[in-house]
Amino acid sequence: MDTYQLNKCIESDKAKDELQKEEALSKTAGVQGTPTFLLGKSKASGAEGSLLIGAPSFDSLDIQIQSLLSKPIDQTGLQPNLQ
């Protein structure tokens, strides 16, 4: 990795603006650190779903995702992404 180029990118105005937007959205959603997974959907006003904070095992993550996928859309509040 070229750390010089990485730092140059991070310090650019475009990157700063984007990083500040992402940070604000993350705080709104309740993210306090990494890794954090949102199982649900994100909105401009925040997030709807469950936050998994920390590094869950694959099995734990799989169980939670499969649980969401097994519920009808009206119970989860999630809409499929058809794009």
CA distance 41 to 79: 9
In this structure, are residues 36 and 18 in contact, taking their beta carbons and an 8 Å threshold?
Answer: no
Tell me how far apart the alpha carbons of residues 40 and 61 are, in angstroms, rounded to a whole number.
13
DSSP 20: H
Q: What is the pLDDT along the chain (83 residues), one digit of tens a residue?
A: 899 998 888 888 888 888 888 888 888 878 888 898 888 776 677 667 888 888 999 999 999 888 888 877 655 555 444 43
Q: What is the pTM of this model?
A: 0.53
Inter-residue contact 50 to 42 (CB < 8 Å)? no
- Give the per-residue pLDDT at 59: 94
